A = this chain, B = another copy of it.
Amino acid sequence: MLESEISIQERLYPDSTCFGCGRANPDGLQLRSYARPEGVIASFQPGPAHSNGMGSMNGGIIATLLDCHSGAVVLLDAAGDADSLTDLWVTAGLEIRYRLPTFLDMPVELHAEITEKSESSILVKATLRYDGKVRVQAESRWAPIPKR
């Protein structure tokens, strides 16, 4: 993606303080996700703080990226053509399979897409690739926050 392209997060929730993807959280990961014909994609360069202490990426940081990236897919779908959100959804369940280690020297590539959808539940499948290989797979279930 071009550095100047506006991410899903910047378009729909630019003031968010979310640890994983909030533009307004200076201490967070500031993930930026982009819609493409084949699904939603993102790239993230981990830093030394994101280690697991054994030379590869911390599993919780990976979970954060996959969770927030999947959230971008869900909220993009909820927004439709609008430039702001009226319906909010949260993670109800997250299943992660760590297949291979992910090292810290290159960006990781994320992909996610909706696989099932009803009024009360959305399922998202996501992957994390490093050096061309799928290293981690995630499936998440999302639930709407009841309107006040």
Q: Which residues of A contact B (CB under 8 A)?
A: 13, 16-22, 25, 27-28, 48-54, 58-61, 63-65, 67-68, 88, 90-98, 101, 145
Contacts and interface: CB of A to CB of B under 8 A. Distances in A.
A88 B101 CA distance: 14
A123 to B, nearest CB: 14
A14 to B, nearest CB: 11
A60 B53 CA distance: 18
A13 B93 CA distance: 31
A60 B63 contact: yes
B64 A16 contact: no
Query: 7 closest A-B pairs (Cβ-Cβ)?
Result: A60-B64, A18-B53, A16-B53, A63-B63, A27-B49, A19-B58, A94-B96
